[in-house]
Structure 1
Amino acid sequence: MITPEQIRAKSLRKYTSFLQTLVRNETFDRIVITGDKSYTKSSLQEFEREIRSILSQSKDKNGYGYSLDFQKVKTKYLGTQDLPTAIYFDTEIDFLKYLNKEKEVKVFEQNIRKIIDELPELKEWIIQYPSKIIANEDKWEDLIKVCQYFLKNPIPRLYLRELPIKVHTKFIEQNQGILKELLDLIISDNVNKEEKQFEKRFNLKYSEPQVRFKILDQEISKSYFQGLNDIAIPVGQFESLNLPIKRVLVVENKTTLYTTLTLPKMTKTIAIFGSGYSINNLKNAKWLSDIELLYWGDIDAQGFEILSQFRSYFNQTRSILMDRETFDKFFEYDAGTVSYVTADSFLNEQERELYDLLKTNNWRLEQEKIPLEYVRSFFDKLE
């Protein structure tokens, strides 16, 4: 026999379809809860207790809730007994009071009327996701304002907080998840669907990450940057950089970036601070495809994973000072950070062998632990 807990659980599962009928403006139809018409327990006392429990939450007992139809059924152990064969809600009030959803549904109906009046194109989305109306029940006035603005201005080219919408300054930032769903529907022709970042997806300005680099050629420093040699610019500007460069050295750590200024003179060369996995900021700098690229990272699992990532963007990348000879010469048995990824797709045979060794043993030799004299000697030969 079905229990009161099972009746409630099944009733809650009917709630979404009930909300959908409200959006479609359909009349209420009896909601039926399926039950078990058999009874196999042998204790009459237990049977009577279960019947009382079911009746305690019924409409007959409380004036609202589910109604019960009984039928005489012959049981295996208790003979013929009256068992509930039909469980149903006859009215909307019975159903909502039982679930304690009256107030929630009242707000839901107010919101869907408001949304459909202002943005009728969202009606099918509401039918599909009525729970999202409830999850954002106190935000719909402002969500509608944002949607209406984008309908009129699908390509704003403004920063989020510049948008002339009368909502809290942080409202859009704090509600990007639901707004993404809505805007994807109502301005679909103007959405950059391949972009995940909210600002890029919806044609907004955004604060770009910066690329920091050092000019290692004094002539380039004087001619293009008035003698400055330590520079940081937005990614977009870096992507369009036009300098007489033949070589780029990418270093993983900031400390090593400072070291590059003490290296032997390197003509037509700059050093870029890769900043670990932020190396992906460089992937759209197409001009890097046509020059010599050197990558110098820590000799640990992550260092080779970042190298592999960078080489996936620019396959001519050559690793430097990340070889077995350098590792054996200066390794001090420092522990690394455990890696759970597999990223050797763009490593050559020697790099892959060292990567496997480092990953297996969780070893690390940081860039800054390689003596400067050794580094200088390497770059002397490089030029």
Structure 2
Amino acid sequence: MAARRGAPGWTTWPDARAALRARWDSGDLLRARLTGRPVTPLVLPVRGPTSREAADRFGEVQDWVAGWRAARLRPARLETAALGGRLIGTNQVPKRVVLDSAEDVWTALGVAADVRRFDDLVAATEAELPAGLSWVAARPHEALAHAADWPRMLAVVEWILARGGPHVYLRQVDVPGVDTKFVEERRGVLGALLARTLPADRGDPTARPADIARRFGLRSKPELVRFRSFDPADGPYSELAVRSDELARFPFAARTVFVVENEVTYLAFPPVPGAAVVLGNGYAVSSLAALPWLGDRDVRYWGDLDTHGLRALDRLRRFLPAARSLLMDEPTLLAHRPHWSREPVPVTEHLPRLTPDEQAVFQALVRNEHGDLVRLEQERIRFSAVERAVAVARVRG
């Protein structure tokens, strides 16, 4: 506890009050109330002077005791103990602060209204969603912060349990006073409650917190694959965006597939007869895993020449091990030195699916062999170099 100025670590009433507040802030008091564990009498020990200190610093001890006597402790009470010796005699000094009832604790903290709201919240949860009590016990103050919305939040969880599923969008949740924004803004707590109540075959607890539909076992917004095909068999359209689950069943005709990251580069990509160019969108290339027929195509990946781009290539090879890279080599990097920029937060993890040449580039970037945090973004590569690389890739097949 903090010491009063001039006193060597002796507890003051503000110190004891701060210790009581810390007990409240920890959630222990509300947790005990929920579980029925008694919290009173609640004792706050008081550290005071030793007999030697009382003799050597008698005036300071008197001031310290006077401070306690002047303090407004109610509803707490102060217990004392004898201290002294031959030099100063026996004196009664503060020993502990005691709060005899829970009501005294709430009054001392000024939280009686909060406790009433918490009691109502617990009662509603016990009646409507008993499995959610474990989360309330683990995070009582977070639950209390949502007390005003708690009935609607319980209703959302109950609706999803009863009517949700992979055929239902989040927008279809129909609870009075609830809209999609309400759910999105409270997705952390709702997700925690649903994790304790959803059957094991519903929802995905490993999904990103932002992906609330998948976490709740609801229907996710469809992933679109955006591509341009230069194969006449794919029809007259210059560009298409198709749901990945539908494209998985009805593949495009092009046999060579270039996957690029930058949108303008994708739009300007040189037309290659019999090929298609797909917009990868960074780590979203994993969505291409839904297209099993890609394993039978000649896939070329072109991403930023930096550690993140090489990691995206490594991830693509998890499901397309034969995919080859394009313009992600050291000669390309060194030929574009004036166009280098800085990579804000490079990755350093092991990338086992890179070829030896790609691994050499990655390690050189990680070790800053070419300079500090070097990166070459896809859109900074000269277009003539792109045309040459695509022509070479086309010839090699």
Moved more, 199-208 or 355-364: 355-364
Distance 1:144 1:180 in 2: 12
Distance 2:68 2:318 in 1: 65
Matched AA of 2:294:
L
Q: Which residue of 1 aligns with 2:225?
A: 211
Choose the corresponding residue for 1:273, options 279, 283, 293. 279
2:268 match: 259
1:126 matched to 2:136: yes
Alignment TM-score, normalising by the size of structure 2: 0.82
Provide the C-alpha distance between the structure 2 equivalents of 1:285 and 1:77, rounded to a whole number of angstroms.
Answer: 91
Give 2:291's match in structure 1, choosing from 285, 293, 296. Answer: 285
**Structure 1 residue 318 displacement after superposition:** 0.9
1:50 aligns with 2:64: yes
SS at match of 1:186: coil
- SS of residue matched to 1:68: strand
**Correspondence list, 1:71-220, <5 A:** 71-74=81-84, 80-155=90-165, 157-169=167-179, 170-189=181-200, 190-196=202-208, 197-218=211-232, 220=233
Q: Is the Cα contact below 8 Å between 1:248 and 1:270 reproduced in 2? A: yes
Does structure 2 retain, via aligned residues, the 8 Å contact 1:43–1:78?
A: no
Q: Tell me the secondary structure at the aligned position of residue 79 of structure 2.
A: strand
* Maintained 8 Å contact 1:330/1:365: no
User: Mind listing any 5+ residue stretches in structure 1 that lack a counterpart?
Assistant: none
For the Cα contact (< 8 Å) 1:214–1:231, is it kept in 2? yes
Q: 1:154 to 1:301 in 2, by over 3 A?
A: closer
Shift in Å at residue 76 of structure 1? 11
Partner of 2:4: none
Q: Check conservation: 1:307, 1:319, Cα contact below 8 A.
A: yes
CA distance, structure 2, for counterparts of residue 44 and residue 68 of structure 1: 21
Q: What's the counterpart of residue 2 of structure 1?
A: 11
Identity of aligned residues (%): 20
Name the structure 1 match of 2:256.
247
Give the length in aligned residue pairs: 371
Matched, 1:314 2:320: yes
Deviation per residue, 1:150-195 (Å, 9 max, x gap): 3322427322222121123121111111111111122234333343
Matched, 1:33 2:47: no
TM-score, normalised by the number of residues in structure 1:
0.85
Does the Cα contact within 8 Å between 2:308 and 2:346 map onto a contact in 1?
no
Corresponding residue for residue 69 of structure 1: 79
Alpha-carbon contact 1:213-1:270 (below 8 Å) kept: yes
**CA shift for structure 1 position 365:** 6.0
- Note if 1:22 corresponds to 2:33: yes
Q: CA–CA distance in 2 between the matches of 1:264 and 1:288? A: 18
CA RMSD of aligned residues (A): 2.8
Q: 1:22 to 1:366 in 2, by over 3 A?
A: closer
Q: Is the 8 A contact 2:161 2:198 kept in 1?
A: yes
Q: Alpha carbons of 1:380 and 1:182: their partners in 2 closer, same or farther (altered >3 Å)?
A: closer
Report SS of the residue matched to 2:317. helix
Residue 316 of structure 1 deviates from its aligned partner by 1.3
Aligned residue for 1:221?
234
Match for residue 324 of structure 1 among 327, 330, 334: 330
Query: Residues 231 and 253 of structure 2 are in contact (CA less than 8 Å); yes or no, is this contact kept in structure 1?
Result: no
Q: Which amino acid aligns with 1:364?
A: L
The code of the aligned residue for 1:320 comes to L
How far apart are residue 82 of structure 1 and its match? 1.8
- Look up the equivalent residue of 2:291 and give its one-letter code: A
What is the CA–CA distance in structure 2 between the aligned matches of 1:257 and 1:309, rounded to whole Å? 20
Matched, 1:369 2:382: yes
